[in-house]
Amino acid sequence: MKILVVADEQEMSLEAARIIGALVRTKPDAVLGLPTGSTPLGTYGELARMHHEENLDFSRVRTINLDEYIGLSDDHPQSYRAFMRKHLFDHINIDENNTHIPNGMAEDVEEECRRYDAIFYRYGRTDLQLIGIGVNAHIAFNEPADCFTPDTHIAELTESTIDANQRNFDHRDEVPRTAISVGMRGIMSTRHLVLIACGEGKAEAVAKSCFGPVTPRVPGSLIQLHPYVTVIADEAAMSLCPVFFSA
Ligand code: PGA
């Protein structure tokens, strides 16, 4: 595991965008696994800038997002499809047919989960999986549990995740309680896993995920088993990591 400790959120964003940009230049049809949330916002902004100012070409790039709320349609402002359009897809030359996000309005949600896993099988591995981490160390909506879930599945959001996500909604009651989430196989079957984290609120999750026991109680800890991981975290998010203190 390579850990890049950066000064702040902006540096984290630029570093992640630099890695993604370099991949897209060397492999124009790269398959990117992408997250939503506040952590990747700066990275998406920088990728948009690289597209406009440095001709970074996304015309052949394919993307697979990690999750979507159940019950929110594509055009609901808090849906993850709307998020991706607003923060990335509308600002780069990506073909929206090459972008994949679970359908939160699917009539048969189990069937939708199987359809989504089939996309991973069709593409093979993602070339790069960008991922954030929850304060409870969830990755995508793989919440702390008794076992890891490999497949795309219906995830029940924990109270702490609902609390964290309510900032995007007018009322806590509006936060969906369930989501379709890629499972651990989808996340781990990537060539390069890039985890980004900033702020002291993530310090415990980062320390446990990078240095604690590998356990489904700390979903992020599974990344320790991946052969090619880059963690990009600011000093606040790294503050509880033993290596950071001894460096
Ligand atoms: P955040 O969410 O980027 O909004 O902090 C991360 C996550 O919950 O995975």
Domain boundaries, the chain: 2-246
- Identify whether the C-beta of residue 24 lies closer than 8 Å to the C-beta of residue 116: no
Q: State how far the alpha carbon of 12 is from the alpha carbons of 40, 42, 48, 107, in Å.
A: 9, 8, 16, 39
201 lines ligand 1 (CB under 6 A): no
Average of per-residue pLDDT values in the chain: 96
219 lines ligand 1 (CB under 6 A): no
Catalytic residue among 15, 68, 117, 143: 143
| Residue 244: per-residue pLDDT | 61
| Residue 243: per-residue pLDDT | 66
Please, which contacts does 172-177 make with residues 24 or more away whose CB atoms are closer than 8 Å?
174/78, 176/69, 176/70, 176/71, 176/72, 176/104
- Partnered with residue 31 across adjacent β-strands are 62
The pLDDT of 189-201, averaged and rounded, is 97
Tens of pLDDT, residues 54-87: 999 999 999 999 999 999 999 999 999 999 999 9
| Residue 245: per-residue pLDDT | 55
Beta strands in the chain (DSSP E): 2-6, 31-34, 62-65, 67-69, 99-100, 128-131, 153-156, 178-181, 193-197, 229-234
- Mutation probe of ligand 1 site: the residue of 13, 38, 159 with most atoms within 8 A of C-beta: 38
Q: Give pTM, 2 decimals.
A: 0.96
**2-246 topology per CATH:** Rossmann fold (3.40.50)
Rounded distance from Cα 29 to ligand 1 centre (Å):
27
Ligand 1 atom nearest residue 140's Cα: 9
- Mutation probe of ligand 1 site: the residue of 13, 39, 222 with most atoms within 8 A of C-beta: 39
| Residue 247: per-residue pLDDT | 45
Q: Where is pLDDT greater, at 167 or 41?
A: 41
Query: Phi and psi (nearest 5°) for 10?
Result: -65, -45
> Catalytic residue at 142?
no
Catalytic residue among 9, 67, 112, 127: 67
Q: Residue 184 and residue 187: Cα distance in Å, rounded?
A: 5
133 lines ligand 1 (CB under 6 A): yes
Residue 246 has pLDDT above 60, yes or no: no
Question: Which tokens is 200 given?
Answer: 């002291």
67 burial (CB, 10 Å; 0-12 / 13-18 / 19+) is buried
- Mutation probe of ligand 1 site: the residue of 34, 133, 162 with most atoms within 8 A of C-beta: 133
Name the band, by pLDDT with cuts 50, 70 and 90, for residue 174.
Answer: very high
Q: State how far the alpha carbon of 127 is from the alpha carbons of 34, 143, 152, 219, in Å.
A: 11, 24, 19, 21
Tens of pLDDT, residues 104-142: 999 999 999 999 999 999 998 999 999 999 999 999 999
Residue 209 has pLDDT above 60, yes or no: yes
> Catalytic residue at 136?
yes
Q: Residue 218 and residue 147: Cα distance in Å, rounded?
A: 10
